[in-house]
Amino acid sequence: MDYVVNDISYKYTPDGKEVLKKVSFTIEKGKVTAIVGPSGCGKSTLVQIFSKVIPKLIGNGELQGTFDVPEGTFVSVVSQSPENQLFGYGVEDAIAFGMENLGLPQEEIMERMEYVLDLLNLQYLRNRSVANLSGGQRQAVCIASVLAMEPDILIMDEPVSSLDPNGKKMVQSILGQLSINGNTTVLVDNNLVWSAGIVDHVIGLLDGEVVFDGSRDDFFRDFELQERLGVIIPQEVEIYRELSRHFPGLDLFYTVEEGRKQIEKLICSKEFTNTEVSEEEKEPIITVHNLGKTFSDGFHALIDVNANVAKGKVVAILGQNGSGKTTFVKHLNGLYKPTEGDVRYRGESIIHKTVAKISKNIILVFQHPEHMLFEETVERELTFCARMQQVDFSEEQITEVLKAYHLEEERETFPLNLSMGKKHMLTILSVLFSSADVIVLDEPTLGMDGFLIKELADMIKRLSGEGKTVIMISHEIPLVFKTVDEAIILNQGEKIFEGSKDALARRDDIFENINIQLPPVVQLSKELGLDEICYNVEDFAAGVVERSRLK
């Protein structure tokens, strides 16, 4: 039997705005349904209704309509913020918590725990403290804790936002297998990049209303709707979208392999020449010397790391979950003190300075925006850093930023009531008013839709143009190659690469080592022998069109 969403409407207060408006669709049993739409369209509200948080825990709103499921159906949710869903000191405690609340016998709890630890390749974390895990590792443990309860309907609200590419592939594989086994999954996520291979059915929401209800392939062919909803689609589909404007009749593809086969028919291919890239000498603004960090549980998070961050550049910190990325950047702003080694800003050691002192020059935007929101209104949050650092700003500057980033109507809103994407953007915008000339962004795209990610990329380019240095941790590899100048790659706490984006694009061995794929445009421009390595879809399409004329 399918599950029916029947004319659901909702307001958080009786006199408030209608967040959902007569939403109706069917969730097919045994299928993977994706609910997409821009930040603030009502996706997370719908999740709260499905899980009965609304109206059982949030009861002062107005709910109409029903979510019709058979009696006894067990619905479980993987939330956007894993730390809000993990209880207990250790990983085993966190996984067992939900099963214990279901009253399962201890023997069954242990059997299910072993199963999910094996399923998600988490055995190596079982004796670790949750507090010392990376953001991606916490998210994986959160997924394990929910899978262990064996829900009839598994709802995942942006479930892989902090996971590395390996983690995303693993979750995709698991959900595909669950679907084969007859389990039902609902993905509430505006990012279809990781899930394109398993999604059966797409529901598009805009301003609280259903504007699309159909198959994945039909959605991928509807270019105008994708752009209206700000959905992040696989770069392969972006390539298809761009090329189909020049080559009518091109078949839809959403993998590199399928794309290569289609494009080879259009062009005259040649072998890619792997030329050496000379590295220019650059003035460092941050120097990391023999940096090491060992936590109290004995885990070696960083091992003898040396690196230089060039002034005025955009630098990516890459690596799998647990490789030491966040630990590394927390040493740059003083949140962590090294077990050994030194960190220098403009040649001067910072390891004995306070976080407040360092933040005048180097400021870190956390992975989870809730850790940085302190004020009662969006406007005061925007100016928080400036006021703390006594940096002058004008009312005109505030209004200009609020307008530019579509927050003017939210000026008096309590920041924690914003959508996840807007909360994250607000924390990033607040550092624009600070005195810092080095801005560190830890997974800045968390919760963002396609509109916000484009604005973020433009902001990073502008900051770099103004001479500021931007350091970014991200698992969104296509975004990284579109925006950064240089990269530092960590693997199991050790630095294995430092250099320019162009040099990195030619190092297939590095990506094989860390088991991360190059962006599709980089892979295909090399494999198809285009004249230059491409980092964005527009340049790649132009290269294909040019080569097609030679055929």
Q: Which residue has better confidence, 182 or 21?
A: 21
For residue 370, pLDDT over 70 is answered with yes
Q: Which residue has better confidence, 297 or 336?
A: 336
Q: What's the mean per-residue pLDDT of the chain?
A: 90
Looking at 43-47, 229-233, 368-372, 410-414, which range is the least confident one? Answer: 368-372
Mean pLDDT calculated for residue range 465-490: 94
CA dist 263 → 162, 531, 539 (Å):
33, 15, 15
Q: Which of 274-288, 375-389, 537-551 is the most confident on average?
A: 375-389
For residue 469, pLDDT over 90 is answered with yes
Which domains does the chain possess? 1-231 (3.40.50.300), 233-271+531-550 (no CATH), 282-530 (3.40.50.300)
Place of tokens 């291919």: 269
For residue 81, pLDDT over 80 is answered with no
For residue 447, pLDDT over 70 is answered with yes
- Of the candidates 82, 192, 53, the one whose C-alpha atom is nearest the C-alpha of residue 144 is 82
For residue 278, pLDDT over 70 is answered with no
pLDDT-above-90 percentage for the chain: 63
For residue 217, pLDDT over 80 is answered with yes
pLDDT of residue 550: 75
Residue 305 to residue 324: CA distance in whole angstroms? 10
Q: Report residue 30 as tokens.
A: 């045994």
For residue 480, pLDDT over 80 is answered with yes
Mean pLDDT calculated for residue range 492-510: 93
pLDDT of residue 269: 66
pTM of whole model > 0.85?
Answer: no
User: CB–CB of 73/150 below 8 Å?
Assistant: no
Q: Please count the CA atoms within 13 angstroms of the CA of 275 that sit on its side-chain side.
A: 8
Residue 551 binned pLDDT confidence (cut-offs 50, 70, 90): low
Q: Which of 198-202, 432-436, 445-449 is the most confident on average?
A: 198-202
pLDDT of residue 464: 93
